Amino acid sequence: MVMVEVGEGRSVGHVAGREDVESVYAHACTMLEDHTIRDVSAVPQMLEKCAAAGHVPSQLMLLDVYEGKRKGIAPEPKKAFDLAKEMAQQKTGQENSAPVAEEQNAGRSEATYRLALYYERGIGCKASPKDAFHFMLQAASPQFPKARVELARYLINGVGHNPDYAQARSLLLEVAKSAPRTPNTFFYLGYMYMNGLGMHGPNLRMARKIYELGREVGDARAINNLAAMYERGLGAPRDFDKAIRLYKQAANLGCKDASANMQRLAYKAAVRPDGTWRQRIGRAGLKVVKALPIATRLRKWLEEPFKRMETPSET
């Protein structure tokens, strides 16, 4: 039985049975999610106690904490690497119930996936593309599509393995059929067709169709590339307005490149040679503000000075 202390000697419970572990884990999650709680320094210790008891959600949350994804806690990459490696090597106990065994298998797959990324990027360890490929290959089961998508990326870019475009395309097509909402599936697949990787040459029409499918399932990077095709007139008629709308959609889904592209193109589309310089700046400013993913009230407030600039002065 382990006592977990929080803050200045305040006990939150004993970590003994699964119910106690769940309670401490829930308390740790609450501390991380409640923005009114400033001191979360005790959270890693709480999660470590739960993780030591074999609680998979605590182990995965601890990986997030060690990676620096949680507020107020400095990243500890070496601890993230060591924990992921330990989890990847764990075996499912035969005495466990089916739900527990399933949870352990899912946790091991996630840890193996992250371990591959750590080796690829040199997080908590020396970068090793060969080890990255080895562990991503282990993680890439049919039940874990995001690892299959990243394995396809490794095969496209030759990370730890010779490029194999045919295998990469096969993996991506499988995921597109079985788990189409897996991030980057249509982005990588469209990228292959756009650049003719493993094919006789680029197929822009097919790339656009694939990016359109990505748009339907919210693949942000695929939408960004679709917007670029409309901006440049590649495999699609040139259409700046449509490109801006697509960039905005991708930006709202979290694609930083799309956010930058949207504002750049909005300004470019607005600056026309007619009118005074003041009117041109006004039009450009309005286009940029309208493209921003912000609240309507704030947008109206930002538009006002540009509207005044766009309106011709009375003589």
Question: Is residue 130 classed as helix, strand or coil in its secondary structure?
Answer: helix
Whether residues 3 and 71 share a domain: the answer is yes
Q: What is the pLDDT of residues 192-228, one digit of tens each?
A: 999 999 999 999 999 999 999 999 999 999 999 999 9
Residue with token string 């495999």 = 235
Whether residues 65 and 112 share a domain: the answer is no
Q: What is the pLDDT of residues 95-146, one digit of tens each?
A: 667 777 888 899 999 999 999 999 999 999 999 999 999 999 999 999 999 9
Answer whether residue 186 is part of any domain. Answer: no
CB 120 within 8 A of CB 132: yes
Whether residues 85 and 169 share a domain: the answer is yes
Answer whether residue 119 is part of any domain. Answer: yes
Answer whether residue 29 is part of any domain. Answer: yes
pLDDT of residue 276: 61
Whether residues 65 and 1 share a domain: the answer is yes
Answer whether residue 45 is part of any domain. Answer: yes
pLDDT of residue 94: 58
Whether residues 53 and 113 share a domain: the answer is no
Least trusted range by pLDDT, from 103-112, 163-172, 205-214, 258-267: 258-267
Answer whether residue 243 is part of any domain. Answer: no
Strands 2-6 and 10-15: antiparallel
**Taking the alpha carbons of 184, 190, 194, 196 in that order, is the dihedral positive or negative?**
positive
pLDDT of residue 101: 81
Answer whether residue 40 is part of any domain. Answer: yes
Confidence band of 315 (pLDDT split at 50, 70, 90): very low
Q: How many domains does the chain have?
A: 2
Range of the domain at 147: 81-89+107-177
- Ranges assigned E (strand) in 241-310: none
Answer whether residue 205 is part of any domain. Answer: no
Reference 266, options 231, 300, 236; nearest CA is 231
What number of H helices and E strands is found in the chain?
15, 2
Whether residues 119 and 167 share a domain: the answer is yes
Identify the domain boundary among 177, 194, 220.
177
Identify the domain boundary among 146, 162, 177.
177
Confidence band of 253 (pLDDT split at 50, 70, 90): very high
Answer whether residue 145 is part of any domain. Answer: yes
CB 63 within 8 A of CB 83: yes
Q: Which residues are 11's β-sheet partners?
A: 5
Whether residues 115 and 171 share a domain: the answer is yes
Whether residues 5 and 62 share a domain: the answer is yes
Whether residues 117 and 48 share a domain: the answer is no
Question: Is residue 5 classed as helix, strand or coil in its secondary structure?
Answer: strand
Between 71 and 138, the higher pLDDT residue: 138
Whether residues 60 and 130 share a domain: the answer is no
Whether residues 85 and 60 share a domain: the answer is no
Identify the domain boundary among 150, 177, 204.
177
Whether residues 45 and 121 share a domain: the answer is no
